[in-house]
Structure 1
Amino acid sequence: MQIERLEIPDIWLVTPAKHGDARGFFSETFRADEFAKHGLTTPFIQDNHVRSTQKGVLRGLHFQTPPHAQGKLVRCTRGSILDVAVDIRTGSPSYGRHVAAELSADNWNQLWVPAGFAHGYLTLEDDCEVIYKVTDYYAPECDRGLAWDDPALGIEWGISAADVVLSDKDRKQPKLAEMLPAFDYIRQE
């Protein structure tokens, strides 16, 4: 398992090894001991599976506030997505910045998105499936979001507002400047 810290070091690109033969492949997609070597010991307590039937579906940018903040380990098992995480931790040196990675069934990459980041993804083709582990249960009272198209974020989604497929909830999310602070940055030594 390869773990690479991205431009915002709290976000990791994880590439599990795949061992294949004529029958198919085998892959350990998560190992607690490998994540612990990099400082992540928070247990995952829920798995989510999402299917999007068409290209251009954008889900996000979502997060949960304390006391039910969630870290997420995201992977795409069918199709491909552009996965994005935005730092929303007040006082962080990377506040308002984002990282993006393509996750696909072919490249087998995963993205670790800790609590304190808004997360979302865009389907890059029809019929995508995304599976992600989370570190806390879904709590509707803590469910929040951030506008996917906030110009202050500078995210290059590669799709026009006219072509994106959004939920009603995601059409109404606030911009970063309008959002109430939800997380404080805690410097890691």
Structure 2
Amino acid sequence: MKVIETKIPDVKIIEPKVFKDERGFFMESWNERDFHEAGIDAKFVQDNHSRSVKNTLRGLHYQIKHPQGKLVRVTRGEVFDVAVDIRPSSPTFGQWVGEYLSEENSRMLWIPPGFAHGFLVTGVIAEFQYKCTDFYQPNYEQIILWNDKTLGIDWPLDKGSPTLSEKDKHGRNFLEVELHAPKS
């Protein structure tokens, strides 16, 4: 597998080796030894799978306690995936990284704990799968507005506004949310 650095050093693009032939393909989506050698020491406790239609935007989500690291990938379609550094002591605090993930490029994105996460479906449909390093804790979930002016995320929208869930419509501005609380 190939690990590609992003403008935020803790967020990594993973390009797995994909073996293709006339029957289809094979790839390892997780190999603890290889990821450890790449500097990603993660213990995953939960796998999630969502399906969304074009122009759906999910996020920007994070948990103030029990922060989740996520290894994300798309198994059908395409998304524009975003990670926002919400660690106040980080030199990249308030910065974001956006990457296209698709079934064609087989890329994965490693988003460590301490980041808000969201994605926009850019294909007709997308199946999005991700591993989490901690369990979902709805009592600690925070949502940053997808179009927060402070962050200035350049979402690749075709036209108009994205389709949002009710809870995502009521997210808060970056300067108003409770930020990542480091583990004590």
TM more than 0.5: yes
SS in 2 for 1:119: strand
Kept in 2: contact 1:88–1:183 (CA 8 A)? no
SS in 1 for 2:175: helix
- Of the structure 1 ranges 104-113 and 136-145, higher mean CA displacement relative to structure 2 is found in 136-145
Match of 2:8 in 1: 8
Shift of 1:124: 0.2
2:106 is aligned, of 108, 113, 131, to: 108
CA deviations on 1:127-152 (whole Å, 9 max, x unpaired) are 21000000011111111111110011
Task: Give the drift of 1:161.
Answer: 8.1
Q: 1:51 aligns to what? A: 51
Aligned to 1:89, the other structure's residue is in SS state coil
Q: How many equivalent pairs are there?
A: 183
User: What is the TM-score with the length of structure 1 in the denominator?
Assistant: 0.92
- 1:73 corresponds, among 57, 62, 71, to 71
Using the alignment, how far apart are the partners of 2:112 and 2:181 within structure 1?
12
Measured against aligned partners, the alpha-carbon deviations of 1:53-91 in whole angstroms (never above 9, x if no partner) come to: x2100000001122x110000000100000000000012
Once the two structures are TM-superposed, the CA of residue 24 in structure 1 deviates from its matched residue by 0.7
- Over aligned residues, Cα RMSD in angstroms? 1.5
1-side partners of 2:114 and 2:159: how far apart?
26
Q: Which amino acid is 1:165 matched to? A: T
TM-score, length-normalised on structure 2? Answer: 0.95
121, 135, 140: which is aligned to 1:142? 140
| Structure 2 unaligned residues grouped into runs of 5+ | none
The residue type paired with residue 164 of structure 1 is P
Q: Percent of aligned positions with the same letter in both sequences?
A: 43
Residue in structure 2 matched with residue 33 of structure 1 by the alignment: 33
SS of aligned partner of 2:36: helix
SS at match of 2:161: coil
- Structure 1 unaligned regions, length at least 5: none
Query: Following TM superposition, by how much is the alpha carbon of 1:96 offset from its aligned partner in structure 2, in angstroms?
Result: 0.6
> 2:54·2:125 contact (CA, 8 Å) conserved in 1?
yes
Question: Deviation above 4 Å: which 4+ runs of structure 1?
Answer: none
